[in-house]
């Protein structure tokens, strides 16, 4: 398991102190912003788009390509010519910076297709296999109408019937459908054909933690602490909702684009268990099974505490506790041997592992006050749980931008021909409760960045000064995104007197107003908001502001926005279209704006 330092860069890139996030990726403080050109291949033609600086976003690039081409077929996304998983996914996150892309890098335009409303296989273009389980295959796909990337878990109905797994599959769908947590994968749709069941979920382009852990060998305690904390909070959320996970292992922990974890695969989970309740199924992965599970005398939530401890042990040592290639011997060791604790683990770390891996569940850490007992252990004292939940603590590693982060064992597999043939939907009575359609919106946590679920029939405009795409579509609904701060404060806008030249005969549109804007935080970003045509101030568009300095902005209603904004200052101003509010008098400060909620 031991690896040389150079191996670290196989799939993951180390984080460094003093390195800051910009557009979701780390850049050196004070680094110069340089102009570059991106080549966009559109069928047989290539167009060049100049990117003046790295503060511009993937949404700006999409907007510029649409404006430049003026094509009757809608461009909804891009993909890299080099087929980079991470960069392809990044291109679908419209607020992410273009900084990771190189000068003269070639991108390929993805055109949207009009589709039927009912979700089905024909809505997706399969790309490659990215995972495989006992009776399922996970395929990376692109949705044809929006260009967005997802992972589809496909399951054979015949296998499910033969192995009597119908209840297990429906349990997984039910749990995924209910969950909404930053460290648990999100289900978007579930549908079925005559032969297969399909679960459409978030794509986690960082791959499995298992793949990276075995490339790296083992983590330091500080590195493991971040992953441990994120996994714990995901498990805690499950327990709070009456769910015992029962299958925690590195293969079921995925990494998102920034290296944060997502729990997946809930087929073995048990729902509706009271806090001190017991269940008697024998399930799980052998390396992470608790002693009470092996004895078959009933188990409760403490099996998840044990599995969490076993996973931490593997992160710190490179192998699960009591590991043996002979499964019978491994079971015997779990039940009878003392826990081996290597000396390179700190004293407090050894104490923590011995308590959370106690063979007696009634004496195991967590049995009295649940995860609060685990959080309160001295080994966890360095974790700021609030910041960790908000994803403000950078993971020790992030997925490599230029390499595939999925196991070649999966990506070399042939795609499912039945899926490629776009089998029509079909329904079986025993799977009548399987189908599901979410609200079509990716709901991120306050510190994460959003993407648009449906870009069909989108019309766009571009703000030259901000470089952010604007859109008009009644079904687009994306939350306003704030860089996290310890204190939420309202926006403050002060209406200014008009500075239009008296000799200027250019008509001023209705609702044309200029305000001074004071950002309440060091960095404030906006994204697309739900809007309806001819409804003023329903679209929010702006690039992140760089400081707390007062900045002039011009506000237009969506239906009356001029193609060339009037000049109101010596410098170019950002253009904002804000939600409706009471029209203030000149000089009046607006401290609260109705319908402007950064949490929705």
pTM above 0.85, yes or no: no
Q: Are 579 and 553 in contact (CB under 8 A)?
A: no
Report CA-CA distances (Å) from 163 to 138, 157, 158, 169, 590. Answer: 19, 10, 9, 11, 63
- The DSSP secondary structure of 383-448, one letter per residue, reads --HHHHHTT-SPPSEEE-TTS--S-HHHHTSPP-HHHHTTPPB---GGGTT--EE--S-----TTS
Q: What is the pLDDT of residue 294?
A: 92
Annotated binding site: 162
* Among the listed residues 234, 409, 250, the one whose alpha carbon sits nearest the alpha carbon of residue 318: 250
- DSSP 3-state of 376: coil
Which residues does the annotation place in the binding site for ATP? Answer: 162
428 near 192, Cβ under 8 Å? yes
Residue whose pair of structure tokens reads 């794509």 in the numeric block: 203
Spatial separation of the C-alpha atoms in residues 28 and 18, rounded to whole Å: 8
Which domains are delineated in the chain?
A: 21-111 (3.10.20.90), 121-205+405-437 (3.30.200.20), 217-399 (1.10.510.10), 463-600 (no CATH)
Confidence check: pLDDT of 327 > 90: yes
List the catalytic residues. Answer: 247
Say if residue 147's pLDDT is above 60: yes
Please name which of 447, 209, 438, 453 lies closest in space to residue 312, comparing C-alpha atoms. Answer: 209
| Integer Cα distance of 68 and 475 in angstroms | 25
Asked if the model's pLDDT at residue 133 lies above 50, the reply is: yes
With a pLDDT cut of 70, the percent of the chain lying above it is 66
Instruction: Report the distance separating Cα 523 and Cα 97, nearest Å.
Output: 14
Give the separation between CA 526 and CA 32, rounded to whole angstroms. 24
Read off the pLDDT of each residue in 156-171 and give the average, rounded to a whole number: 89
The reported pLDDT for the residue numbered 482 is 29
CB burial of residue 349 (10 Å; 0-12, 13-18, 19+): buried
For the purposes of burial, counting CB atoms within 10 Å of the CB of 550, is it exposed (0-12), middle (13-18) or buried (19 or more)?
exposed
Maximum Cα interatomic distance, the chain, rounded to a whole number of Å:
92
Q: Would the pLDDT of 555 be above 90?
A: no
The residue with greater pLDDT, 593 or 353, is 353
Element (H, E) at 191: strand 187-192
Are the C-beta atoms of residues 245 and 263 closer than 8 Å to each other?
yes
Q: What is the pLDDT of residues 380-391, one digit of tens each?
A: 999 999 999 999
């Amino acid at each position: 398991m031991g690896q040389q330092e150079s191996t670290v860069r196989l799939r993951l890139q180390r984080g460094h102190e003093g390195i800051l996030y910009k557009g979701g990726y780390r850049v050196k403080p004070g680094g110069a912003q340089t102009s570059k050109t991106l080549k966009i291949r559109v069928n047989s033609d290539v167009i060049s788009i100049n990117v003046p600086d790295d503060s511009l976003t993937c949404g700006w690039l999409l907007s510029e390509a649409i404006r430049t081409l003026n094509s009757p077929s809608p461009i909804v996304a891009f993909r890299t010519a080099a087929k980079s998983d991470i960069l392809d996914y990044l291109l679908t996150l419209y607020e992410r910076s273009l900084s990771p892309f190189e000068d003269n890098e070639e991108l390929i335009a993805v055109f949207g297709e009009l589709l039927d409303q009912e979700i089905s296989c024909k809505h997706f273009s399969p790309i490659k296999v990215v995972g495989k389980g006992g009776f399922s295959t996970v395929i990376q796909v692109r949705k044809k109408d929006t260009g967005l990337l997802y992972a589809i878990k496909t399951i054979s109905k015949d296998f499910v019937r033969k192995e009597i797994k119908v209840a297990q599959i429906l349990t997984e769908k039910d749990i995924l459908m209910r969950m909404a947590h930053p460290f648990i994968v999100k289900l978007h749709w579930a549908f079925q054909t005559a032969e297969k069941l399909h679960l459409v979920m978030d794509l986690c382009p960082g791959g499995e933690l298992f793949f990276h852990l075995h490339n790296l060998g083992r983590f330091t305690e500080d590195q493991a602490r971040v992953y441990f904390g994120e996994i714990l909070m995901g498990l805690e959320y499950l327990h709070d909702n009456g769910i015992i996970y029962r299958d925690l292992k590195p293969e079921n922990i995925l990494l998102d684009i920034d290296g944060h974890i997502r729990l997946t695969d809930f087929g073995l989970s048990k729902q509706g268990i009271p806090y001190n309740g017991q269940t008697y199924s024998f399930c799980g992965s052998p390396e992470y099974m608790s002693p009470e599970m092996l004895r078959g005398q009933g188990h409760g939530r403490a099996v998840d505490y044990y599995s969490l401890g076993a996973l931490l042990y593997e992160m710190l040592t490179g192998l699960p506790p009591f590991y043996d290639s002979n499964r019978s011997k491994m079971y015997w060791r779990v039940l009878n041997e003392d826990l081996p604790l290597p000396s390179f683990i700190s004293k407090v770390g050894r104490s923590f592992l011995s308590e959370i891996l106690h063979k007696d569940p009634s004496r195991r850490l967590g049995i009295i006050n649940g995860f609060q007992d685990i959080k309160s252990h001295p080994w966890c004292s360095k974790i700021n749980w609030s910041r960790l939940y908000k994803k403000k603590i950078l993971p020790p590693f992030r997925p490599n931008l230029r390499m595939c982060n999925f196991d070649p064992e999966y990506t070399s597999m042939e795609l499912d021909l039945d899926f490629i043939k776009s089998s029509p939907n079909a329904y079986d009575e025993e799977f009548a409760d399987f189908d599901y359609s979410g609200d079509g919106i990716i709901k991120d946590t306050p510190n994460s960045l959003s993407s648009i679920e449906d870009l069909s029939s989108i019309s766009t405009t571009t703000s030259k000064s901000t470089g952010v795409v604007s859109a008009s579509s009644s079904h687009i609904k994306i939350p306003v995104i704030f860089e996290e701060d310890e204190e939420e404060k309202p926006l403050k806008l002060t209406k200014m007197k008009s500075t239009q030249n008296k000799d200027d005969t250019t008509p001023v549109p209705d609702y044309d107003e200029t305000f001074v804007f004071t950002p309440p935080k060091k960095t404030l970003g906006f994204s697309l908001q739900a809007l309806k045509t001819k409804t003023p101030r329903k679209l929010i568009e702006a690039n992140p502001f760089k400081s707390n300095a007062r900045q002039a902005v011009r506000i237009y209603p969506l239906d009356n926005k001029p193609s060339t904004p009037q000049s109101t200052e010596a410098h170019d101003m950002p253009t904002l279209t804000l939600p409706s509010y009471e029209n203030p008098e000149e000089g009046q400060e607006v401290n609260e704006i109705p319908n402007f909620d950064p949490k929705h």
